[in-house]
Structure 1
């Protein structure tokens, strides 16, 4: 079968691999769509700290069932999505129902080879039937679930002022579910094209251009109170530190992005606001189920997919997704 290997930063190679053999309790999926996310781009550019090369990328996946164990609820031909966070099921986090931060987690496409290939065999508990969804929609459930999980962590309520710092795909996913929960959503970013996209396609209430006077504008939007919930989706340590100042009194700050460095904040300001600080990692099956339900009901815009390529075109075209001028929101790889 065809697979795409990232042999080293900047190098993608089409390789012919043996078909995966289905192990006990596993299902064989014919991969049909692979969403490209920031993690994949970081792997390609050599900026992913938790990875060894070579690696087959791909963790935003949809496909059709090829083979399942006897008695499975999954049947050949079913459209499925894959939860790529392969958790152990027996560590302290898993036993608390927090498989998203399993102590022994192995994320497809990061810690182990992923789905940028024609077939993939995975434990069946990480494969969800996506009945009623298109292959495109099913491939978007993973990054949308990260946003849904972050919003659930913050317990966003109707009428609350919500700020999303960073208008990339993860920030957009947060915006979608913060809006669905009734939040009044503002997005701040340095790229006008992404702000325009959020306004036009996601229906966010306000957008703010990063730069001089941006904090004054955020204050004006909230009548000087700032925000009940702030989400960082920048992956930039300085932005993450600055985000503390956008949290209103009694508010919550959720770090959705991650950096391999320390984050510091002013303790008197933190205590004065009685800020709640939360990390948000990956997503759980409950978040995937919420995303699938929202997609079925039309609550998620299809416009998020802006660029396409086939699996065979990946070595040639993948680097083009890095060009800001291309206006990429979500790249999608199609497997024929």
Structure 2
């Protein structure tokens, strides 16, 4: 089989600095596949890595973990349905299989987790070798929409953790990509969904994806009053925090209905103070959520079912050569940059 030619990669060499470099050709080993990268989506962790405030910022690093591409070569000992030319979306983490979380079917919490574009070389390069087990065929789904499968899988994990059912009032705090995915998934389940965010364009997108109510945070409306009116005084059965901001988490805690569930999916190093008595008085359930546990194929199907509207999440496009500008824009304009795509190769 022909070996791939020279690669080009966008390498984050230091804080806020990206260089385009030629790199050596790569060949898949046992149980691996070589993927020609088509599209890469930028997310919050990419911005933190780029700006140097991520706990795993370790340069030089090729970033990128939300990506789609085409199978260019299959290594030995690969079992399963993957064939040359398949378009795939990558579930960008591997687990050890032996630690306590792995042994108890929580590989997303693996103590030795390895995430593509964080702990190992990522997708901002022409081709990448990944374990075959994390490459999911997406059929005729476009390369653009293939990049959305990973953030949607994170949203599905949160929704699954919350056990949302039809007819429940669901409040989503934060309308970035994960929040938008939560809107899509919960509205499909038949929930009544309200979204709060600081940016009107993100609220407009949430309406497009199924939200029934929106409120501009910091605007004239009072969130607590709107929520009380919307839920007929009951409060939302489920509140999702997709911001990681301590003040927002506290707001969600105060707003959730008695016996309700608060799910924290936003990332932050901040502390938050919560009154212990309210946990027992209102019998609240507070859940954390990260990555996904076996939900990636379901995420692919959710994206496929909503292919005609979920593409509105993609707001900007850049070439691989302009990766520096893409990361800088996403960092400097978070309200506008819902999902920035980097086009690595032609579809």
| TM bracket (short chain) | over 0.9
Matched, 1:280 2:320: no
User: Structure 2 regions of 5+ residues with no counterpart?
Assistant: 1-6
Instruction: Find out whether 1:25 has 2:31 as its counterpart.
Output: yes
Correspondence 1:293 to 2:301? yes
* Whole-angstrom distance in 2 between the partners of 1:147 and 1:325: 19
Residues in 1 aligned to 2:245 and 2:13: alpha-carbon distance in whole angstroms: 26
- Partner of residue 82 from structure 2, selected from 74, 77, 95: 74
1:41 is matched with 47
Contact residue 208 and residue 218 of structure 1 kept, 8 A: no
Calculate the TM-score normalised by the size of structure 1. Answer: 0.95
In structure 2, the residue matched to 1:98 is 106
Alignment RMSD, CA only?
A: 1.7
How many Å apart are 1:335 and its aligned residue? 1.4
Please give the alpha-carbon distance, in whole angstroms, between the structure 1 residues aligned to 2:199 and 2:53: 21
Q: Find the residue that maps to 2:61 and give its secondary structure.
A: coil
Distance 2:168 2:159 in 1: 12
Residues 1:120 and 2:128 are matched in the alignment: yes
Instruction: Find 1:138's aligned residue among 146, 157, 161.
Output: 146
Q: Give the number of aligned pairs.
A: 334
Superposition deviation, residue 47 in structure 1: 2.3
Tell me by how many angstroms 1:45 deviates: 1.8
Partner of residue 312, structure 2: 303
2:223 counterpart residue number? 214
Query: What do the CA deviations read for 1:26-68 (whole angstroms, capped 9, x no partner)?
Result: 1111111101111111112222123322221100011000111
Hey, what does 1:256 align to over in structure 2?
A: 265
Measure the CA separation in 2 of the matches of 1:12 and 1:236: 28
Q: Distance in 2 between matches of 1:278 and 1:323?
A: 31
How far does residue 317 in structure 1 lie from its aligned partner after superposition? 3.9
Q: Secondary structure at the match of 2:67?
A: strand
How far apart are the structure 1 equivalents of 2:205 and 2:198? 13
What are the ranges of 5 or more consecutive residues in structure 1 without an aligned counterpart?
none
Q: Does 1:182 align with 2:190?
A: yes
- 1:129 and 2:115 matched: no
CA distance in 2, matches of 1:233, 1:321: 17
Whether contact under 8 Å (1:252, 1:275) holds in the other structure is yes
CA distance in 1, matches of 2:245, 2:194: 19
320, 338, 345: which one pairs with 1:329?
A: 338
Q: The residue matched to 1:301 in structure 2 has which SS? A: helix
State the 1:326 CA deviation.
7.1
The answer to whether the 8 A contact 2:187-2:193 is kept is: yes
- TM-score, normalised via structure 2 length: 0.92
Q: Partners of 2:55 and 2:306 in 1: how far apart?
A: 36
1:7 is paired with a residue whose SS is strand
Distance 1:41 1:167 in 2: 17
Identify the range of structure 1 (125-134 vs 151-160) with the bigger mean alpha-carbon deviation.
125-134
